[in-house]
Structure 1
Amino acid sequence: MRILWTLPYLPWPTTSGGKTREYHLLRNLAARGHRITLLVQSKVALDDATRAALEPWLERLIVLPRRPLRSARTLLAVAFATPPMLASVNGFAPDLQHTFEQLLAEDWDVIQIQHSYGFQPFERPLQKAHKPFVLAEHNIESALGAASYSLLPNWAGLFARYDRWRYRRWESRVLRQASELIAVSEDDARGLARLSAKTTAVVVNSVDCDYYAKVRPDRASQRLLFIGNYEYGPNVDAVEWALDEIMPHVWQLAPNVRFSIGGFALPEQWRERWTDPRIDWLGFVPDLRVLQNQTAIFFAPLRQGGGSKLKVLEAMAAGLPVVTTEQGASGLAVINGEHYLGSEYPAELARIIASSLNRPERLEQVGEAGRAYVRATHDWAVSARQLEAIYTRLSPAKETANYAYRT
């Protein structure tokens, strides 16, 4: 199939769960013979490394710059436009809209738009051309208000309430225009269906299982690990909750435990706020496997977010036992006590960590159960087949003809 795919960010390097998902889906679809044109509006310039990572999988890569956050157009749109703040930041882009209009003149089997917050430049061209499209969402964005708006100053509380209202209206408007909606978990699919009155398909988050197959965690290391993208509010909240309320309990029970915290956009002020020498501030880690080999537990104290968590799936694929919350295990068909260990309460999470570190055989049992679960149900090849099945439903006549030609 010929696929036109839009993104409001470059999917390389894979510094977040969203970028990781997009990169691997694109790569797997291309490997299955589909021809993809990727249209990106990016806040960072396209460099040689990113071009080299993406172009082998694409028929065309088109990257346009996103205007600065503090531009007059952005500030005016955030304050007064109908779309909410996030959609305004990524919207009102004449060059992007014009390029998209030109692409719509071509013959496409599937048009896939990623994220309701990136939709504004595409709305009018799609309506004018009467083109059906697929909309994929990684989260129900209007439900992430607590994560997004908690970063605003207290005096902006009234604006935050107004913007939540705008997002609910915008989200419903965008979702209802799509021919097909795609979520990453069954819970999110039900939520999107309620907002749109449309049946929503699921394409699960996954992992390159072979990449992590040879990792052997160090069950005796007394080391915890958390990895996240700190441009995403739920990851910021997870670290702050852990260091304020959970790790003090852990260190009372097990003073030798170390907590390694890595990921993209790690806030510099954290090093000054928490100076305990048992905290390792790692920053972005390009290859997690060496670090996973030195770790006993992946600790994901997530209270906010949606969908399923790629960081958790990657840890499970590496055989790392995961200690997390109900939110950390959301979207996964896993059982507390079998595939992961969890609680919602700081003192109980601390007790689970301290007691488990003294039972390496228990860590081995949980880690390998998680690894087996991910390999069976969350490999990227599974996700690509799910997405391909959705495309086939939308273009059955063309797919039948292509199949007849191939055979």
Structure 2
Amino acid sequence: MKFRSTAPGLLARVQKVIDNDDNAVLVIGDHELALPFSRENVPFVFDPTDAISLFYRRRIPVIAKKSPLKALNSVRLALHYTRLERQILAKTACFVTTGTADETFLKALVPDANVCRIGNGTRLIHQPAIQSVDDGRTIGFHGNMTWEPNVEAAEHVAGPIATALTRLPGPQMRIRIAGRPVPAAVQARDGIDGVEVCGFVDDIQAWLASLTLYVMPMYLGAGIKNKLIEAMAAGIPVLTNARGAEDLPEEGRKAIAIARDDTDIARTIRALLAQPEELSRMRRDGRAYALRHFDWADHRQDFHAELRRLRDVKKL
């Protein structure tokens, strides 16, 4: 259970549960909440999903192009969360569920820290592969648009990537972008260069089935994102950039397409959409890779095994 409240008496109530149950393990995913627990020496493990200080460090050069003020704020936040992560990691074990970039970064912050990477997963591996369209013209991206990396990606797909696609030979594109709240820059592109703003969709599998290719460039953050593994698990061909694929091993990288910048993404989209046999291979290989590596049950076993090891060596 992850505690997200700093209500009065929370520390005492948690301590009581731990004292009364030898098997109880407190997992905290909030930096600000983890600090008082560490100060009070209440045993817990830290699961921040990813290294927030690394996120803000990577955000600086991207956001500086748009707003120097936001870039300065990213510097401040990177320093703030670096300090918190150092303090927390010095006291307890840390689990990250994103990828090797976060794991490596956190281990560098506190070389003696116990940082363990637990793989990501999706329930879609337990469902049949989606029968997607193969019309040679429909691509898509989706995400929670309250999360800045998704907004950044959606703006690139609807903006420079869509524009570059119109300048390349091939059929009129259909570029479907789902998620809410719809960013203003994305909404302004609705109906231009084939962009379709879908907003919130009730059935993500039905939406994925409308695509020939899933396009997921990543400009902010790190790690293997849920949307990438969900598309692979559903049997949808996936195209990303180098950062989006940075934590996939070689086998996983071969199951998807990887491009460099926005212009190269557009060229790769056109090339792939003209190769139905290659798209079929990507559907097959991506789905097979997801079945082998993206099962939550396997990762849960790894998590519990590491907790048992920590108990055995008296670190929890």
TM class by shorter chain equals: 0.7 to 0.9
Q: 1:345 to 1:262 in 2, by over 3 A?
A: same
Letter in 2 for 1:256: Q
2:82 corresponds to which of 138, 158, 168: 168
Tell me how far apart the structure 1 counterparts of residues 125 and 253 of structure 2 sit (CA, whole Å): 25
What do the CA deviations read for 1:33-79 (whole angstroms, capped 9, x no partner)?
xxxxxx444xxxxxxxxxxxxxxxxxxxxxxxxxxxxxxxxxxxxxx
- The question of whether the paired residues in 2 share the 8 Å contact of 1:309 and 1:329 is answered with no
- Count of matched residue positions in the alignment of Structure 1 and Structure 2: 304
Question: Which structure would you say has the larger RCO, counting Cα contacts within 8 Å and 6 or more residues apart?
Answer: 2
Tell me how far apart the structure 1 counterparts of residues 200 and 207 of structure 2 sit (CA, whole Å): 12
- Which residue in the other structure is 1:223 paired with? 138
Q: 1:331 to 1:212 in 2, by over 3 A?
A: farther
- The question of whether the paired residues in 1 share the 8 Å contact of 2:51 and 2:106 is answered with yes
Q: 1:264 to 1:101 in 2, by over 3 A?
A: farther
Tell me how far apart the structure 1 counterparts of residues 102 and 71 of structure 2 sit (CA, whole Å): 27
Which secondary structure state, in structure 1, belongs to the residue aligned with residue 53 of structure 2?
helix
Which secondary structure state, in structure 2, belongs to the residue aligned with residue 347 of structure 1?
helix
- Which residue in the other structure is 2:220 paired with? 304
Q: In the TM superposition, what are the counterparts of 1:5-404 in structure 2 within 5 Å?
A: 5-6=1-2, 39-41=3-5, 93=6, 95=7, 97-107=8-18, 108=21, 109=23, 110-114=25-29, 118-128=30-40, 130-145=41-56, 146-147=58-59, 150=63, 154-155=68-69, 157-178=71-92, 180-184=93-97, 185-197=99-111, 198-220=113-135, 222-253=137-168, 254-268=170-184, 270-276=186-192, 278-335=194-251, 338-396=254-312
Q: 1:190 to 1:154 in 2, by over 3 A?
A: closer
Structure 2 length-normalised TM: 0.86
Tell me how far apart the structure 1 counterparts of residues 196 and 43 of structure 2 sit (CA, whole Å): 49
Q: 1:261 to 1:159 in 2, by over 3 A?
A: closer
Which secondary structure state, in structure 2, belongs to the residue aligned with residue 106 of structure 1?
helix
Tell me how far apart the structure 2 counterparts of residues 123 and 347 of structure 1 sit (CA, whole Å): 44
Structure 1 length-normalised TM: 0.68
Q: 1:308 to 1:315 in 2, by over 3 A?
A: same
Deviation at 1:344, TM superposition (A): 1.2
- The question of whether the paired residues in 1 share the 8 Å contact of 2:45 and 2:95 is answered with yes
Tell me how far apart the structure 2 counterparts of residues 303 and 269 of structure 1 sit (CA, whole Å): 16
Tell me how far apart the structure 2 counterparts of residues 391 and 323 of structure 1 sit (CA, whole Å): 36
- Which structure 1 segments of 5+ residues have no match? 7-38, 42-92, 398-407
Deviation at 1:170, TM superposition (A): 2.0
- The question of whether the paired residues in 1 share the 8 Å contact of 2:208 and 2:236 is answered with yes
Deviation at 1:374, TM superposition (A): 0.7
Sequence identity of aligned pairs in percent? 23
What do the CA deviations read for 1:270-299 (whole angstroms, capped 9, x no partner)?
312554162111122242111222210000
- The question of whether the paired residues in 1 share the 8 Å contact of 2:102 and 2:222 is answered with yes
- The question of whether the paired residues in 2 share the 8 Å contact of 1:316 and 1:374 is answered with yes
What do the CA deviations read for 1:233-265 (whole angstroms, capped 9, x no partner)?
211111222233222221222342111111243
Letter in 1 for 2:75: R
Letter in 1 for 2:110: S
Which secondary structure state, in structure 1, belongs to the residue aligned with residue 188 of structure 2?
helix
Tell me how far apart the structure 2 counterparts of residues 312 and 40 of structure 1 sit (CA, whole Å): 27
What do the CA deviations read for 1:6-56 (whole angstroms, capped 9, x no partner)?
2xxxxxxxxxxxxxxxxxxxxxxxxxxxxxxxx444xxxxxxxxxxxxxxx
- The question of whether the paired residues in 2 share the 8 Å contact of 1:315 and 1:322 is answered with yes
Letter in 2 for 1:124: P
Q: 1:334 to 1:265 in 2, by over 3 A?
A: farther
